[in-house]
A and B are shown apart, each in its own frame.
Chain A
Amino acid sequence: MLKILKYSFYDLMRSRWSYVYFLFYLLLGIVLLFLNNNLNKAVITLMNVIIVLVPLIGTIFGVMYYYNSKEFTELLLAQPVKRSSIFLGQYFGVALSLSMSLIVGLGLPFVFYGIFNSSAIWDFSLLLVTGTFLTLIFTALAFVIALANENKIKGFGYAILLWLFMAVIYDGVFLMSLMYFEDYPLDKFSLVATMLNPVDLSRVLILLKLDISALLGYTGAVFQQFFGTRLGLVLSTVTLALWVLVPTLFIYRMARRKDF
């Protein structure tokens, strides 16, 4: 698997899009620091961008890479290589190169601004960790979708729908259900609903770490009580890890059964 990972990674490092993605984050970091002139504020603004953008890029890149490397895949399938190694290698190749663009692109301006001497270092690290998690999760989901759909256009469509659902529609439905059932105690429900969507979970994690939960009112207090504890942190990390693991298992199983 490592050999495949290496070649996928090289292949991507040579593609123009990795650089575009890297430069985008570099520019974003610089502009935010320049405009805010304050590390903590820059981290908050960055969170809002990352939470929505990272899943989008992960999904699109994942689907695009899968369909574009079809020839490469077919070449590899006739070689003495395990099937699951081919697909897992490609998946990790994409996810790692995206994560690297994110970490290096955002990291450089913040390092030069002096993040190491500031109290925001932990918030910023958490931001990068959740960003990496989101990349891993959404690239895996994209691979699952692409493996299930022979048709490129359909694959792209489903992938975009998935992103739209997770990043936008889910929140809408969640809020509406809160309004509709407002006569009932909803703290448990909202906790579970937040845990089930990686985008929401990442957002809540960062918000609480930034200590601005007071802005969230009563819900914030409930969330703080849960996510602020060690149990909450462990549980949410486990949930994020599960969100990576389950789609990866799907990739493994689907790759074993597919015809080429």
Chain B
Amino acid sequence: MTQTLISRGTAAVFRTETRLFGRELGSLFWIVAFPVVLVCVLGFVPTFRDVDPDLGGLRVIDIYVPIGILLSMIMASIMAMPPVVFGYREAGVLRRLQTTPVRPLTLLGAQVVLHGAAVAASTVLLLVVGRLLFQTPLPQAPGWYALAYLLALLATFGLGAIVTAVAPNARVGTAIGMVVFFPSMFTAGVWFPVQGMGGLLQQIVELTPLGAASQALYQAMAGGVPDLAHLLVMVGWVIITFGVASRTFRWQ
């Protein structure tokens, strides 16, 4: 089983988890469909389609595309995935796999990949639907956009990993998830774009993972190079969250 790059057992775990993920219609709705629906609703507000001088010649609807992308990441990593891991841990699925040639880490890996894939699908939908319905701009600096996107994805999954690792059980975990979820939505700019916050509030929000991600994605979309500070803030969060999570995660 070790000759091939991906063993038969690992492939089977991915195949099975993909099927099971397809049955989680709630998760799929919130990750893939909801951000697109939100952007469409906002796009039909006439004033959001007017150029806003405060936003450097962009329209409100334009900056809601990256915000929608971040929303999808938050849904996947903080709302959808931790309960799956809690469930697997409490039901003994992880422990059960520990006694087979496949490691439980494979199961967690499959979950991360699947939730990441759902985010990617949502991103493509947001870019295409925004472009077709509201002429939102495609990323003007694709390389920087991809980098900011990747860091944002890692940072949000880092938050999800922390939630999963520190929670003693599913009930507390869901509560902790909520506590992380709403500030993440706020700092990502879902209610009020970070770019329009200004002043001290904006400076604070830019130090949060989603605040920094929002700024970096926005700047790359507008064609500029994201501020190094935003990228470094995300890198810092990735290191901290995964560092803590990998030390505190329990398999059973």
Chain B associates with chain A: no
Binding site for A on B (CB under 8 A): none
Residues of chain A whose beta carbon lies under 8 Å from any beta carbon of chain B: none
